[in-house]
Amino acid sequence: MVHVLGSRTLIRPLDPAVSREFYGERLGLAVYREFGTGEERGTVYFLGGGFLELSGRRPADADGAASDGAVRLWLQVADAAAAREELAARGVEIVREPVREPWGLIEMWIADPDGLPIVLVEIPADHPLRHRPAI
């Protein structure tokens, strides 16, 4: 098994400046580090126990779309309803309102400027992800 020391989600945005504004200002993610110079410089944000990196640029496909739907971000929040109000106040479009799913998580969907789906998840106190039975 490979000994993994760290990880991050890497996104190649269509417009790095627009994506930096979305993740840094609208979502309010704190910057871990930046590297390089100019518009296509890399910016790495804290994501709880992980990181999100925006770096470089990728071209749009023939339709001008950026995401093929294969990648999604999953972000755990303490309170989905409060996150919904805060994000809406910052101008973030709520793609799907917070809903308690059949599997017990409360999920809300938004998207980044390139259409990358982002699910914000609240784990209720009674959900198995919150506790482990005695071993």
* Strand pairing class (106-111; 117-122): antiparallel
- Helix, strand, coil share of the chain (percent; to 5): 20, 30, 50
Q: Is 47 helix (H, G, I), strand (E, B) or coil?
A: strand
CA distance linking residue 44 with residue 62, whole number of Å = 29
pTM of the model: 0.76
Q: Which residues contact 78 (CB under 8 A, 6 or more apart)?
A: 122
Q: 3-17, 52-66, 87-101, 105-119: lowest mean pLDDT where?
A: 52-66
pLDDT digits (tens, 9 = 90+) for 73-100: 889 899 999 999 999 999 999 999 999 9
pLDDT digits (tens, 9 = 90+) for 22-68: 999 999 999 999 988 888 889 999 988 888 888 777 777 666 655 45
CA distance linking residue 36 with residue 45, whole number of Å = 15
Higher per-residue pLDDT: 57 or 110: 110
Identify the band that residue 133 occupies on the pLDDT scale cut at 50, 70 and 90. low
Residues in the chain: 135
Amino acid at position 100, single letter: R
Give me the pLDDT at residue 113, please.
93
Structure token pair of residue 2: 């490979």
Whether 109 and 115 have beta carbons less than 8 Å apart is answered as no
